Structure formats: structure tokens, C-alpha cells
Amino acid sequence: MESFDPVTRQGLSITNLFWLELAISAALLALVIGVLTYALVHYRARPGDNTDPPQIHGNSRLELIWTATPAATLAVIFVLVVFTMRTVNAAQDNAQPLVITGYQWWWQYTYPNQQVIAANELHVPVGVPLQVSLESADVIHSFHVPQFGWMQDLVPGRTNSMNILVERAGTFDGSCNQYCGLQHAWMRLRVVADPPEQFNAWVQQQAASATPSGSRGEQVFQQNTCVSCHTIRGLPSAGGTVGPDLTHLGSRATLGAGVVDNTPDNLRAWVSNPQQIKPGVLMPAFSSLPASDLDALVQYLESLK
Ligand SMILES: [Cu+2]
């Protein structure tokens, strides 16, 4: 039912169109059933009457009516659809850019104006128009948050766009809606829509780099191949872009695009064998890390708020 409760201005106009079309279809259905019932009752065969009923072949008035009515109905719906599409696609003044990139099997969000890169948990300001560009790093994905009221594909080699104005604060779940490989079903996302002040506070926190501390966990991270796939801003050697940016991992609610909650135990299990949690995942297992190193690594990653 979430699709019927849109929280974006664009989704609302699509949902309104849906209700209007449903009402038009319901009225037509009622009309057809009414006429059919009338005909069945009024023209039923009477006992003892074996003559043919009057034939309507060649009745141009009737034929005109049943050709013109559906044509006019479709013409009205066509105009409504064109107007709705124009509303949905209309450029928005002062729109903030946001880039969403699909990866097998997680989401990257880039806020170019704020120099922020986040993953899986999408934060958006309420009441601020967004100009969203959708791209893919590998195969076709589809960005679908039912309560946004519409969705858009992410296609390799091209940039799709989506105008969004979220009108209500809240948390809205979504997922990839285009089969994109083994873990397609675990390519979830969560949208957190906050009033602008709260959103700005989040952005400021996300824009900050990690402060290198030389802790054991930080060393373990840098001494392993983590750095060739993951970025932690602030650690010069950690600039990989194959996997999610981990600069603020500790502030996310889930790991692996929603597959498990972000708890120290789950993070430990994830790093030592992500395949067990998300079979097929494009991250190798680190099962040979000594337990003490693993503990230090987990503690370090969870401290990255
Ligand atoms: Cu996908």
C-alpha cells in the first residue's frame, strides 16, 4: 500500500492520476454492467415467443456511439498523462544535485555540492528540490522507493535523471527493482528524510574526514587489501572505490545494503566471511585474520561515526 501514500510532490501527481483513471474505469465498468443488465432483463426471451429479436447490424448511430466513447475516453486519459508527465519531469528551481550510483549490490550517494559520499542509507532534506542523476557502475539497476511514487533505472554508460521533492519527514524503505545478479534481493536502501537543519547537520558530520590515530585497528585496515577497495577519507592509503566508502561506517544502521544490522558481532562476521552473510558478494573473506586483529579492526570501524 506504500505506493498509494507518496511523500514526493512528483509521486503525488502520479498517484492522483492513478486514482482519477481508476474512477474513470470504475464509472465505465458500472455503465457497461448497467446497460448489460438492462438488456438482459428487458430483451430476455419470453415463453412461447420464438421469433428473432430485432437485429442491430448496420445501426450507424449505435456503432458511432460505441466507437466514439472509448476513443474520447482514451483521448482524455492521454491528455491527463501528458500533463502528469510534464509535472513530474519539470525542472525545479534551485535544485540540489545528488548522484546515485548502482553497484552489485549496494548504492552509492554523492552530494557534489557538499563533497560527501555515502552508501546505502540515503539522507535527503524535506522541502528541498533535488536533481538526481542515476548511474551504474556495472549492470542495470533500478532505484525504487515505493513512497517516492515512481522509480528510475540506472543504466551503465548513461545518466538518467529524476526530479524529487520530498514533502514529508520519515524513514522510507526501498530496493533495487531490476534483477541485477545473485544478491539483487539484498540491494536494499533506506531513505531518511529530515528537516533541512537536521539534514545539514548530517551532511557536515559526513563531510568530515577520519582523524588518523595510529590505533591497532587502523593499522590492520591499512595493512590488508581493504584499502584497495574501500575509501576512508583521512587515511591517505585508503582510496579504493570498488566497495562502499567507510569513512562514516559507524553511523549506518545496516551492513551490506540492509542484509544485517550494523552491530560489532555482525561486522566481525562480515569481515571474516562476507560470503556467508551475502553469498556471491564482491568482497573476499578475511578468515585468516588473527582474532585480536579482527577485534581491533571491528572496534576501529565502528568508531567511524
Ligand atoms: Cu540492482
Domains of the chain with bracketed CATH: 2-42+56-89 (1.10.287), 96-196 (2.60.40.420), 216-302 (2.60.40.420)
Grid coordinates belonging to 185: 534481493
Residue 152's DSSP bridge partners are 143
Cell of 19: 486514482
* Per-residue pLDDT at 219: 97
- What does the angle CA 258 – CA 12 – CA 164 come to, to the nearest 5 degrees? 60
For ligand 1, the distance from its centroid to the CA atom of residue 20, given in whole angstroms, is: 32
Output the CA 254–ligand 1 centroid distance in Å.
17
Dist. CA 101 → ligand 1 center (Å): 10
Query: Is-above-0.95 flag for pTM?
Result: no
Residues 243-255, mean pLDDT to the nearest whole number: 96
pLDDT of residue 43: 86
How far, in Å, is the centroid of ligand 1 from the Cα of 8?
22
For 90-128, give one letter per residue: b (16+ CB within 10 A) or e: eeeeeebebbbbbbbbbbbbbbeebebbbbbbbbbbbeb
Task: Report cis status (omega within 30 of 0) of the bond before 150.
Answer: no
- For residues 206, 139, 241, 163, the Cα torsion angle rounded to the nearest 10 degrees is -30
Find the mean pLDDT for residues 191-210. 96
As a whole number of angstroms, the distance between CA 193 and CA 126 comes to 6
Whether pLDDT at 127 is above 90: yes
Residue 250 banded pLDDT, cuts 50, 70, 90: very high
Q: What is the pLDDT, as a whole number, of residue 48? A: 86
Residue 56's pLDDT is: 80
What 8-state DSSP symbol labels residue 233? T
Under the banding of pLDDT at 50, 70 and 90, the label for residue 52 is confident
Question: Ligand 1 centre from 56 Cα, in Å?
Answer: 56
Res. 24 pLDDT band, cuts 50 70 90:
very high
pLDDT for the residue 4: 87
Distance of CA 275 from the midpoint of ligand 1 (Å): 18
Percent share of the chain, pLDDT over 70: 100
Rounded distance from Cα 96 to ligand 1 centre (Å): 25
545496516: which residue's cell? 254
Residue 190 alpha carbon to ligand 1 centre in Å: 14
Q: Which residues contact 43 (CB under 8 A, 6 or more apart)?
A: 53
User: How confident is the prediction for the chain on average, in pLDDT?
Assistant: 95
Residue 233 bridge partners (DSSP): none
* pLDDT score of 47: 87
Dist. CA 209 → ligand 1 center (Å)? 29
Distance of alpha carbon 56 from the chain centroid = 53
